[in-house]
Amino acid sequence: MFTLEQQASEAGTRLVLSGSLTIYEVRDARDALLGAFGGQPSGHWQLDLSALDELDTAGAQLLLAAQRQLRLSDATLEVCNPSASALELLQLLHLQGLFSSQGPAASGDRHAQ
């Protein structure tokens, strides 16, 4: 079960992801994210993973794709407050770059640390 809650914050838009984000949920999650981004997303977006119980490679891939999507319209995306299980996976895939707002293209050493 995946849910997405949108909050406005002073830094930009915050999306709180909760439940699980795995191969079973990615299709719905994609639609939900696209809906939240709207036609021309702009500014800074935060994905709050604190309530995410489960994350797999398909989910991580979706987060990466979301980051690309935002970059298309010069918006930025940052993943924050990952839950323990989400953090484990992101570390395993050396996707710490998602935590920075610059995005993977700009961070050359996202995997090394």
Partner 1 sequence: MLNDQQWSQLLLSFVEEAHDLAKQAEEYLLQLEQTPTDEDAINGLFRAMHTLKGSAGLFSLTPLVNFTHHLESLLMKVREGQQALTPVLLDLLLRGLDEVNAMVELIDADSGELVVDEARHAGLIAALTSHDDSHLIPLTTIEPDTCKSFGRLDKCASCDQEAAWHISLRLQPEILGNGFDPASFLRYLSRLGDILQLELIDDALPALAEMDPESCYLGMEIDLCTTAGKAEIEDVFEFIRDFCTLRILPPNAALDDYLRLIHELPETDQKIGRILVASGLLTELELDQALRLQAADAQQPRPLGSVLVEQGMVPAQGVNAALAKQQTVREKRNQENSQIRVAAHKLDELINLVGELVISAAGAQLRAQLKGDAACIESTQTVNLHVEQIREAALKLRMIEIGDTFNRFHRVVRDVSQQLGKDIRLEIQGADTELDKAVIDRLADPLTHLVRNAIDHGIEPADQRLAAGKSAEGHLRLDAYHESGMIVIEVADDGHGLNTRRIREKAVARGLIDAQANLSDHDVQMLIFAAGFSTADNVSDLSGRGVGMDVVRSAIDALRGTIEIDSRPGEGCTFRIRLPLTLAIIDGFLISLGDDYFVIPLDMVTECLELEADQLDGAAYGYLDLRGRPLPCLSLAAHFKLREAPSKRRNIIVVSHGRQQAGLIVDHLHGELQTVIKPLGQLFQHLQGIGGSTILGSGQVALILDIPSLFRHLHTHVEASPADLRTSQPRQIAAGQQGETPCNSSAT
Torsion of CA 84, 89, 94, 98, to 10 degrees: -70
CB of 67 to partner 1, least distance (A): 9
* 83/70 Cα distance (integer angstroms): 23
Is 95 near partner 1 (CB under 8 A)?
A: yes
* Type and span of the H or E element at 46: strand 44-55
Structure token digits, residue 96: 């710490």
Out of 18, 53, 87, 104, the only residue in the binding site for partner 1 (CB under 8 A) is 104
* 71/4 Cα distance (integer angstroms): 20
Out of 83, 93, 100, 102, the only residue in the binding site for partner 1 (CB under 8 A) is 93
Stretch that binds partner 1, among 6-14, 18-26, 45-53, 78-86 (CB under 8 A): 18-26
Residues that bind partner 1 (CB under 8 A): 22-23, 26-27, 29-30, 33-34, 37, 56-58, 60-62, 64-66, 68-69, 71-72, 89, 91-95, 104, 111-113
